[in-house]
Amino acid sequence: GAVVSQHPSWVICKSGTSVKIECRSLDFQATTMFWYRQFPKQSLMLMATSNEGSKATYEQGVEKDKFLINHASLTLSTLTVTSAHPEDSSFYICSAERDGSYEQYFGPGTRLTVT
Amino acid sequence: AQKVTQAQTEISVVEKEDVTLDCVYETRDTTYYLFWYKQPPSGELVFLIRRNSFDEQNEISGRYSWNFQKSTSSFNFTITASQVVDSAVYFCALSEVHGSSNTGKLIFGQGTTLQVKP
Protein backbone atom coordinates (compact mmCIF):
# COMPACT_ATOMS: atom_id res chain seq x y z
CA GLY A 1 0.00 0.00 0.00
CA ALA A 2 0.84 3.71 0.10
CA VAL A 3 1.54 4.22 -3.57
CA VAL A 4 1.88 7.64 -5.12
CA SER A 5 1.84 8.11 -8.85
CA GLN A 6 2.89 11.03 -10.98
CA HIS A 7 1.89 11.75 -14.53
CA PRO A 8 3.56 12.29 -16.85
CA SER A 9 6.90 10.74 -15.93
CA TRP A 10 8.63 12.99 -18.40
CA VAL A 11 7.58 15.84 -20.64
CA ILE A 12 9.21 18.08 -23.21
CA CYS A 13 7.53 21.35 -23.99
CA LYS A 14 8.28 24.53 -25.84
CA SER A 15 9.10 27.76 -24.12
CA GLY A 16 6.00 29.77 -23.34
CA THR A 17 3.63 26.85 -23.01
CA SER A 18 2.10 25.50 -19.81
CA VAL A 19 2.55 22.02 -18.42
CA LYS A 20 0.40 20.22 -15.88
CA ILE A 21 1.79 17.50 -13.63
CA GLU A 22 -0.53 15.24 -11.64
CA CYS A 23 0.19 13.62 -8.31
CA ARG A 24 -2.15 10.91 -7.05
CA SER A 25 -2.26 8.87 -3.89
CA LEU A 26 -3.60 5.56 -5.16
CA ASP A 27 -4.62 3.74 -2.01
CA PHE A 28 -4.87 6.30 0.76
CA GLN A 29 -6.24 9.74 1.41
CA ALA A 30 -3.92 12.68 1.59
CA THR A 31 -5.19 16.02 2.76
CA THR A 32 -1.65 17.31 2.45
CA MET A 33 0.70 16.86 -0.47
CA PHE A 34 4.06 18.44 -1.14
CA TRP A 35 5.82 19.51 -4.30
CA TYR A 36 9.60 19.42 -4.53
CA ARG A 37 12.00 20.44 -7.21
CA GLN A 38 15.37 18.88 -7.81
CA PHE A 39 18.08 20.20 -10.12
CA PRO A 40 20.74 17.80 -11.40
CA LYS A 41 23.09 16.63 -8.69
CA GLN A 42 21.34 18.76 -6.11
CA SER A 43 19.02 18.18 -3.22
CA LEU A 44 15.25 18.36 -3.14
CA MET A 45 13.86 21.79 -2.46
CA LEU A 46 10.33 22.14 -1.18
CA MET A 47 8.30 24.38 -3.44
CA ALA A 48 4.91 24.31 -1.79
CA THR A 49 2.55 22.50 0.49
CA SER A 50 -0.72 21.57 -1.12
CA ASN A 51 -3.82 21.34 1.07
CA GLU A 52 -7.10 19.86 -0.10
CA GLY A 53 -9.80 22.46 -0.10
CA SER A 54 -7.56 25.44 0.54
CA LYS A 55 -4.83 27.46 -1.07
CA ALA A 56 -1.35 26.06 -1.31
CA THR A 57 1.39 27.42 0.89
CA TYR A 58 4.43 28.41 -1.11
CA GLU A 59 7.99 28.51 0.13
CA GLN A 60 9.91 31.73 0.01
CA GLY A 61 11.14 32.54 -3.45
CA VAL A 62 8.65 30.33 -5.30
CA GLU A 63 6.36 32.26 -7.64
CA LYS A 64 2.80 31.24 -6.94
CA ASP A 65 1.58 32.64 -10.24
CA LYS A 66 4.08 30.60 -12.15
CA PHE A 67 3.63 27.33 -10.29
CA LEU A 68 -0.10 26.87 -9.87
CA ILE A 69 -1.16 24.19 -7.45
CA ASN A 70 -4.64 22.74 -7.20
CA HIS A 71 -5.55 20.09 -4.65
CA ALA A 72 -8.90 19.08 -6.05
CA SER A 73 -9.56 15.98 -3.97
CA LEU A 74 -8.10 13.90 -1.18
CA THR A 75 -6.13 11.88 -3.71
CA LEU A 76 -5.12 14.38 -6.37
CA SER A 77 -2.90 17.44 -6.51
CA THR A 78 -1.75 19.12 -9.69
CA LEU A 79 1.16 21.42 -10.40
CA THR A 80 0.92 23.62 -13.47
CA VAL A 81 4.05 25.32 -14.70
CA THR A 82 2.76 28.33 -16.57
CA SER A 83 4.64 30.00 -19.41
CA ALA A 84 7.49 27.60 -19.01
CA HIS A 85 11.05 28.68 -19.72
CA PRO A 86 14.23 26.63 -20.09
CA GLU A 87 15.25 27.50 -16.53
CA ASP A 88 12.13 25.66 -15.33
CA SER A 89 13.60 22.43 -16.64
CA SER A 90 13.98 20.21 -13.62
CA PHE A 91 12.88 17.06 -11.86
CA TYR A 92 9.61 17.63 -10.02
CA ILE A 93 8.70 15.25 -7.22
CA CYS A 94 5.50 15.14 -5.24
CA SER A 95 4.79 13.45 -1.97
CA ALA A 96 1.58 12.66 -0.14
CA GLU A 97 1.14 12.53 3.59
CA ARG A 98 -1.22 9.81 4.71
CA ASP A 99 -3.99 11.41 6.73
CA GLY A 100 -3.46 11.10 10.46
CA SER A 101 0.20 10.23 10.23
CA TYR A 102 3.57 11.76 9.51
CA GLU A 103 4.19 9.15 6.87
CA GLN A 104 5.09 10.83 3.62
CA TYR A 105 5.18 8.82 0.41
CA PHE A 106 6.94 10.01 -2.70
CA GLY A 107 5.94 9.81 -6.31
CA PRO A 108 8.41 8.66 -8.96
CA GLY A 109 9.00 12.18 -10.21
CA THR A 110 8.42 14.07 -13.46
CA ARG A 111 11.29 15.22 -15.60
CA LEU A 112 10.41 18.47 -17.34
CA THR A 113 12.49 19.76 -20.23
CA VAL A 114 11.63 23.13 -21.71
CA THR A 115 13.13 23.84 -25.11
CA ALA B 1 15.87 27.66 11.43
CA GLN B 2 15.95 24.03 10.50
CA LYS B 3 18.91 22.68 8.63
CA VAL B 4 20.34 19.33 7.64
CA THR B 5 23.99 18.97 6.73
CA GLN B 6 25.54 16.04 4.94
CA ALA B 7 29.16 17.02 4.76
CA GLN B 8 30.20 14.14 2.53
CA THR B 9 29.38 15.00 -1.06
CA GLU B 10 30.71 11.80 -2.57
CA ILE B 11 32.02 8.56 -1.15
CA SER B 12 33.61 5.75 -3.09
CA VAL B 13 34.20 2.33 -1.58
CA VAL B 14 35.01 -1.12 -2.81
CA GLU B 15 32.39 -3.81 -2.49
CA LYS B 16 32.17 -5.47 0.95
CA GLU B 17 33.59 -2.44 2.71
CA ASP B 18 31.55 -0.81 5.46
CA VAL B 19 30.61 2.81 4.91
CA THR B 20 29.07 5.46 7.17
CA LEU B 21 27.13 8.41 5.86
CA ASP B 22 27.03 11.36 8.20
CA CYS B 23 24.06 13.59 8.93
CA VAL B 24 23.94 16.55 11.30
CA TYR B 25 20.78 18.53 11.88
CA GLU B 26 19.67 21.77 13.49
CA THR B 27 16.28 22.47 14.95
CA ARG B 28 14.81 24.42 17.83
CA ASP B 29 11.92 22.04 18.27
CA THR B 30 11.91 19.26 20.79
CA THR B 31 9.64 17.08 18.71
CA TYR B 32 10.76 16.17 15.23
CA TYR B 33 11.37 13.29 12.88
CA LEU B 34 14.50 12.26 11.03
CA PHE B 35 14.57 10.28 7.83
CA TRP B 36 16.92 8.63 5.41
CA TYR B 37 16.03 8.18 1.76
CA LYS B 38 17.84 6.46 -1.08
CA GLN B 39 17.64 7.87 -4.59
CA PRO B 40 18.90 5.47 -7.25
CA PRO B 41 19.62 6.68 -10.80
CA SER B 42 15.96 6.16 -11.71
CA GLY B 43 15.18 9.14 -9.48
CA GLU B 44 12.49 7.67 -7.30
CA LEU B 45 13.03 8.23 -3.60
CA VAL B 46 13.12 5.08 -1.52
CA PHE B 47 12.21 5.41 2.13
CA LEU B 48 14.74 3.76 4.44
CA ILE B 49 13.91 4.84 7.98
CA ARG B 50 12.04 7.31 10.14
CA ARG B 51 13.06 8.07 13.69
CA ASN B 52 11.27 10.38 16.12
CA SER B 53 13.16 12.67 18.44
CA PHE B 54 12.20 10.73 21.55
CA ASP B 55 13.58 7.45 20.35
CA GLU B 56 17.35 7.36 20.52
CA GLN B 57 17.65 3.63 20.16
CA ASN B 58 19.91 2.58 17.37
CA GLU B 59 18.31 0.51 14.69
CA ILE B 60 19.54 -2.28 12.52
CA SER B 61 17.85 -3.57 9.41
CA GLY B 62 19.84 -6.17 7.58
CA ARG B 63 23.04 -4.52 6.38
CA TYR B 64 21.75 -1.08 7.34
CA SER B 65 22.10 0.52 10.74
CA TRP B 66 21.43 3.96 12.12
CA ASN B 67 23.00 5.79 15.03
CA PHE B 68 20.91 8.62 16.46
CA GLN B 69 22.60 10.86 19.00
CA LYS B 70 20.68 13.90 20.19
CA SER B 71 23.67 15.16 22.14
CA THR B 72 25.52 15.78 18.90
CA SER B 73 22.43 16.28 16.71
CA SER B 74 23.55 13.50 14.45
CA PHE B 75 21.77 10.69 12.69
CA ASN B 76 24.39 8.62 10.90
CA PHE B 77 23.75 5.76 8.54
CA THR B 78 26.04 2.76 8.14
CA ILE B 79 25.98 0.19 5.40
CA THR B 80 27.81 -2.99 6.28
CA ALA B 81 29.40 -5.13 3.59
CA SER B 82 28.42 -2.71 0.85
CA GLN B 83 27.23 -3.97 -2.51
CA VAL B 84 27.22 -2.45 -5.97
CA VAL B 85 23.43 -2.12 -5.75
CA ASP B 86 23.91 0.26 -2.85
CA SER B 87 25.28 2.85 -5.26
CA ALA B 88 22.90 5.80 -5.11
CA VAL B 89 22.42 9.23 -3.63
CA TYR B 90 21.38 9.13 0.01
CA PHE B 91 19.46 11.94 1.63
CA CYS B 92 18.96 12.68 5.27
CA ALA B 93 15.89 14.76 6.08
CA LEU B 94 14.25 16.49 9.03
CA SER B 95 10.57 17.01 9.63
CA GLU B 96 9.24 19.16 12.40
CA VAL B 97 5.92 18.68 14.13
CA HIS B 98 3.86 21.81 14.42
CA GLY B 99 1.13 21.28 16.97
CA SER B 100 -2.00 19.97 15.38
CA SER B 101 -1.11 21.01 11.86
CA ASN B 102 0.29 17.58 11.17
CA THR B 103 2.32 18.80 8.21
CA GLY B 104 5.40 16.74 7.64
CA LYS B 105 7.36 19.29 5.65
CA LEU B 106 10.76 17.79 4.96
CA ILE B 107 14.03 19.64 4.98
CA PHE B 108 16.60 17.68 3.03
CA GLY B 109 20.34 17.58 3.34
CA GLN B 110 22.49 18.06 0.29
CA GLY B 111 22.79 14.33 -0.27
CA THR B 112 25.76 11.98 -0.36
CA THR B 113 26.56 10.13 -3.55
CA LEU B 114 27.77 6.66 -2.73
CA GLN B 115 29.63 4.68 -5.34
CA VAL B 116 30.35 1.06 -4.60
CA LYS B 117 32.89 -0.44 -6.95
CA PRO B 118 33.04 -4.16 -7.64
Decide which of B100 and B11 is more confident: B11
E strand map for A26-115: 32-38, 44-51, 57-58, 67-73, 76-81, 90-97, 104-106, 110-114
Whether the Cβ atoms of residue A84 and residue A13 lie closer than 8 Å to each other: yes
Per-residue pLDDT of chain A (115 residues; tens, 9 = 90+): 789 999 999 999 999 999 999 999 999 999 899 999 999 889 999 999 998 888 899 999 999 999 999 998 999 999 999 999 999 999 999 999 888 777 789 999 999 999 9
Cβ-proximal residues to A63 (8 Å cutoff; 6+ apart), any chain: none
With 90 as the cut, is the pLDDT of residue B31 above it?
no
Percent of chain B with pLDDT over 70: 94
Beta carbons of B102 and A49 less than 8 Å apart: no
Quote the mean pLDDT of chain B: 91
Beta carbons of A43 and B33 less than 8 Å apart: no
With 60 as the cut, is the pLDDT of residue B101 above it?
no
CB contact A43 to B (< 8 Å): yes
Instruction: Please tell me the total number of residues recorded for chain B in this structure.
Output: 118
Between CA A69 and CA A79 the distance in angstroms is 5
Between CA B92 and CA B110 the distance in angstroms is 8
With 90 as the cut, is the pLDDT of residue B98 above it?
no
Beta carbons of B44 and A109 less than 8 Å apart: yes
pLDDT at B29: 86
Min Cα separation B55/chain A (Å): 15
pLDDT at B1: 76
Between CA B109 and CA B11 the distance in angstroms is 15
SS3 of chain B: helix, strand, coil, percent, to 5: 5, 55, 40
Picking from A43, A103, A107, the nearest residue to B91 by CB comes out as A43
Instruction: Collapse the DSSP code of A73 into the 3-class scheme (helix H, G, I; strand E, B; otherwise coil) and give the result.
Output: strand
Decide which of B71 and B1 is more confident: B71
Whether the Cβ atoms of residue B115 and residue B13 lie closer than 8 Å to each other: yes
